[in-house]
Amino acid sequence: MTPKEVLDFSKEKGIKIVDLRFMDFPGLWQHFSVPVSELDEGSFEDGFGFDGSSIRGWQPINASDMLVIPDPDTANIDPFYKDPTLVLICNIVDPVTREPYSRDPRHIAKKAEAYLKGSGIGDTAFIGPEAEFFIFDDIRFESGRNMAFYEIDSIEGIWNTGRDEEPNQGYKPRHKEGYFPVPPMDKFQDLRSEMLLTLESLGIDIEAQHHEVATAGQAEIDMRFKPLLQMADQLMWFKYVLKNVAYRYGHTVTFMPKPLFEDNGTGMHTHLSIWKDGQPTFAGDQYAGLSQEALYAIGGILKHARALCAFTNPTTNSYKRLVPGFEAPVNLAYSSRNRSAAVRIPMYSTSPKAKRIEFRTPDPSCNGYLAFSAMLMAALDGIENKIDPGDPLDKDIYGLPPEELAQIPSAPGSLDEALEALKEDSQFLLKGDVFTADAIDMWIDYKIENEINPVKLRPHPHEFFLYYDI
């Protein structure tokens, strides 16, 4: 839309409120609202002011003034608010220089798309994330100086087979058996369908929805692939819609990678393909129907995977899922069909347009703007430098003898390791000023100070079980 078309659309729909949204640095949607009378064509150039020092990882208090500039192409109507509300996703600029803000995740994604076009390798990067999530009924947690706990509950939780539910009717998926029986075992079909239909009402194309492997309401809704920036915007709508539909019915949704012990974690397998002039560049006559460029892209992702994890798996909890020998793909290898490899080539279709690579390590706790941009930059580095991914690994990685498994590099074992890898391997991200040194340094510092150190300093409840009687 043009700014004028947005204003005409607002008048046609009887809009009363304009909700201005943007992404903070760690990855949560932020917003503030203005009456529709405050929106005019000049708003799309002049923007609206806000306090950048109150946003995580952004400005110091002595340089706090920032501007949000609405993007007219993102106009949509909020499906949850009482009053008719227009949502506009915004870009962040400095009010003095009018320059885009280096730590605005959306700006980084726009630069990644521009770098792809400037490289001549392609003009569009299509991204298709498979974001898993849990639907719980109740979650309680607290972390104090002298105590800490969390407790999760779900009508589907296998631990509730003996609970007095007046009556307890059973039908609770056993651990790792939630993929995917029909109701009444699956208790969230209608809820997921409402999520799906709400997303479609916002213009987001959906391919499928289903229960996932774990007990206690693990689920997945798959969006059809879209260009990088558009998909990063959609991922924010995706999380927003799922949380609010669940909340409407007394449930709660989390994208936390590993909320349950001894059951599957929550991943976000992410599909990537590069197109040029309307044609797929990843289809060819090499391994698994890939082009040489696609193999080089895999080489780039595998080479930089440990640094990528700082953005694709950005929480301390992410590494409770990425544990060798369990369900997550931590071994940095590639294969067709083999789901135990970090990079897989899906073989569902023989169409060249369906040819893509799937990076299976990421999880949905990530900031999509940063994670998708980092993945693209790694793939482009592989193509530009002709990085050989080596031979594919078509064996079951979990069944390999220890001496053979030791030859396969592994994803980081902790967020600390991922950030150290990012410190040592960030040049591929700095190309074209896509990621700036300032943004990378702040990401590392923020994660250490606000997440890693607070977790390190606290005793873990299980340590009392192990060590209290020493």
| Active site residue ranges | 51, 130, 132, 212, 220, 269, 339, 358, 360
Q: What is residue 51's three-state secondary structure?
A: strand
* Dist. CA 429–CA 422, nearest whole Å: 10
Torsional sign, CA 454, 459, 463, 465? negative
* Dist. CA 41–CA 72, nearest whole Å: 10
Q: What is residue 232's three-state secondary structure?
A: helix
- Distances, alpha carbon 420 to alpha carbons 168, 178, 411, 433, in Å: 49, 36, 12, 21
Q: What is the largest CA-CA distance in the chain?
A: 72
Q: What is residue 69's three-state secondary structure?
A: strand
> How large is the angle between the packed helices 368-384 and 228-248, nearest 10 degrees?
150
Q: What is residue 314's three-state secondary structure?
A: coil
Q: Which residues contact 110 (CB under 8 A, 6 or more apart)?
A: 91, 229
Query: Which among 308, 312, 236, 284 is positioned nearest to 71, based on CA atoms?
Result: 236
Rg for the chain (alpha carbons), in Å? Answer: 23
* Dist. CA 463–CA 268, nearest whole Å: 30
- Side-chain-facing half-sphere of 435: CA atoms under 13 Å: 28
Structure-derived torsion over alpha carbons of residues 43, 45, 49, 51, reported in degrees to the nearest 10:
140
Peptide bond just before 227 cis, omega within 30 deg = no
Peptide bond just before 180 cis, omega within 30 deg = yes
Contact yes or no for 245/230 (Cβ under 8 A): no
Query: Which among 264, 168, 174 is positioned nearest to 219, based on CA atoms?
Result: 264
* Dist. CA 324–CA 309, nearest whole Å: 15
- Parallel, antiparallel or unpaired: strands 17-23 and 85-93: parallel
Contact yes or no for 171/186 (Cβ under 8 A): no
Question: Whose structure tokens read 């209608």?
Answer: 190
Question: Whose structure tokens read 């999509």?
Answer: 368
